[in-house]
Amino acid sequence: MIRKLTAIIALSLAVQACSAAGRIAQVGQTPPMSPIANPAALAGTGPSQIPMPMRAPEIRQATNSLWSSNTSSFFGDPRASRVGDLLTVNINISDSAQLQNSTSRSRTSAEEAGMEQFFGADLTGFFNDSINPASLADLSSTSSTDGSGAVNRTESVSLTVAAIVTQVLPNGLLVLNGSQEVRVNNEVRELLISGIIRPEDISSGNTIEHTKIAEARISYGGRGHISDMQRPRYGQELYDLLMPF
């Protein structure tokens, strides 16, 4: 057991050392920004595994006609519909939750047993004077539990980000992915969003609300000096992970 615990501690320290080495190399410098990459290769945008209904046949443009039944306007549909098209995602999250629980439990038990005779034999003289045959066992226990908990949480996020269509599913749904990084002084704020949308939910201004994105994955965080101050030290995280009490 001690060897396993030593191996775990050594492995954890090695991993932390590798992570710390990269951060030490950035001391005195602004946090680096991620390079622009292929959106289709970003996390969360792999091939979607969902039931696919048969796609309806496309309506082709009539011969000798400037009008196409596939567009919503005479001059063409400006909304995103193909891989590589851009659209704007409006993120307006306003959630609040209030929970309060209280639990109280108590129990008291007492047991007493004696043995003065056994199959007609008198046992009163079997025991010495310090043992009372009428009270050979006297057990009692008392337990109580009193717990309470409360949650008061309010979250509000209002952001706008441009996303790119990375995949068109056989049923016509669009898979989108978008990322945005903003660096202010020594803090980088990062916004990631991905999900599946319907083309008809895209407004005429080529925008869509986050509430209309299925399988939405929205991440908003940061890295830099302020985030480092809000993060516990490596030793404290390791202590909290290994300490059983």
Along the chain (245 residues), what's the average pLDDT of each consecutive run of 10 residues? 67 61 63 64 53 53 58 65 90 86 86 68 63 69 84 85 90 90 86 91 92 89 80 76 69
130: in domain: yes
pLDDT given for residue 231 in this prediction: 76
Whole-angstrom distance between the N-terminal and C-terminal Cα of the chain? 18
pLDDT given for residue 63 in this prediction: 59
pLDDT given for residue 97 in this prediction: 86
125: in domain: yes
pLDDT given for residue 199 in this prediction: 92
pLDDT given for residue 19 in this prediction: 60
26: in domain: no
User: Domain of 105?
Assistant: 99-150
113: in domain: yes
Answer yes or no: are the C-beta atoms of 220 and 159 closer than 8 Å.
yes
140: in domain: yes
pLDDT given for residue 174 in this prediction: 92
Round to whole Å and give the CA distance between 58 and 27: 57
156: in domain: no
pLDDT given for residue 151 in this prediction: 82
pLDDT given for residue 1 in this prediction: 61
209: in domain: no
Answer yes or no: are the C-beta atoms of 77 and 202 closer than 8 Å.
no
pLDDT given for residue 22 in this prediction: 64
